[in-house]
Chain A
Amino acid sequence: MTTETHSSTEHGMSNAGYVKIALILAAITALEVATYYVDFGPLFMPALMIMMVVKFVVVVSYFMHLKFDNKLFTWVFYAGLFLALGVYAVALATFHFFS
């Protein structure tokens, strides 16, 4: 128990915590798949995008330990991610993708 607590604080969460996170991710995936079969109307795209972003952030924060690690790693990774988002948003806009 002591080892578990020590490990949880130093390297993230307990194993039970990781299982809970995985179950949440599985539930969100099931909801995502449901949007393909059930008509969500105008909520379809926003709901799908929100679920995708939530899954992404949860995996990166908890499974990749960014939430518990040094903030420099967070900056390094998200700098690459937002650079990619910016560059390709401009590239897609150039090809009139959004219009």
Chain B
Amino acid sequence: MWFTLAEHAVITAGEHDTGHGDHHTSTGLSNNKLGMWLFLGSECLLFGGLISTYMLYRGRVGEGPRPSQVFDIPFTSVSSFVLLMSSLTMVLAVSAAHKGDDRNTNLWVTITALLGATFVGGQVYEFTAFYNEGMGFTTSLFSSSFYVLTGFHGVHVTVGIIMLMSIVGIMKRSKTPGSKAETVEMIGLYWHFVDVVWIIIFTLIYLVPA
């Protein structure tokens, strides 16, 4: 069901997908792109709320473990690096899409999805390790706010992976090379946003001591 919904969204976004300037709209800009930037602007408010809540509650550990006792900085640093490199592969996919090079677009998009899956896998491992160390969802205000914030981010990455795999499937069925350039660009914007949110989370949540 998720795949179908994501695929529908991707197809709708790319209905008039030229991949180049010249948009017959009142602004002269792509409505899809403007809509995506508006959505990302609103996402700042969502993640701003979650990060603020965590900042307020990070010292409220109750009987549970403190952040410094559970965080594994080397492991999370590697995860952050993986997500950062997925931004590079995504921008290379967008670049290839604008050149009408569907083969390389598919290659870079697939690598991006794999790097994203590695990041999510790392997050699942991290959550499991925290749980085994006695940090459950309801253990403390710190643990609840931490799981909600990083969990929401993980869900965003997962949705991004679904969109990436959907566009690979759609492009394989497409008969016109480069016809999905704008759709790839929209998914790229979403993916980079997920990366910049992690840049903030990694610094404020993991590196700044509570």
Q: Which of A's residues lie within 8 Å of B, judged by CB?
A: 3, 7, 10-12, 15, 18-19, 21-22, 25-26, 29, 32-33, 35-36, 45, 48-49, 51-52, 55-56, 59-60, 62-64, 70, 72-73, 76-81, 83-85, 87-88, 91-92, 95, 97
Contact = CB atoms under 8 A, between A and B. Distances in A.
Contacts, number: 125
B44 interface: yes
Interface string B1-43: 0000000000000000000110000010100011001101111
B90 A52 contact: no
A18 B98 CA distance: 15
A48 B95 contact: no
Contacts of A60: 192, 196
Contacts of B84: 22, 25-26, 29
Given A12-B95, A55-B199, A64-B192, A88 B48 contact: yes
Contact of B95 (A11, A76, A77, A92): A11
A36 B33 contact: no
Contacts of A70: 29
Contacts of B20: 10
Interface stretch (B49-57, B125-133, B149-157): B49-57
B55 A59 contact: no
For the complex, would chain B's binding face be called helix, strand, loop or mixed by DSSP majority?
helix
Interface in B84-130: 84-85, 87-88, 90-92, 94-95, 98-99
12 contacts: A7-B95, A18-B91, A22-B84, A22-B87, A32-B202, A32-B207, A33-B207, A45-B208, A55-B196, A56-B200, A72-B27, A84-B45
Nearest to B206: A36
A52 B27 CA distance: 33
B99 A3 contact: yes
Contacts of B164: none
Contacts of A26: 81, 84-85
A21 B56 CA distance: 34
Nearest to A69: B33
Contact of A52 (B40, B43, B200): B200
B192 A73 contact: no
Nearest to A86: B48
Interface in B44-96: 44-45, 47-49, 51-52, 55-56, 73, 77, 80-81, 84-85, 87-88, 90-92, 94-95
Nearest to A49: B203
Q: Which of A51, A64, A80, A92 has the most CB of B within 10 A?
A: A64
Contacts of B52: 88, 91-92
B163 interface: no
Contacts of B199: 52, 55-56, 59
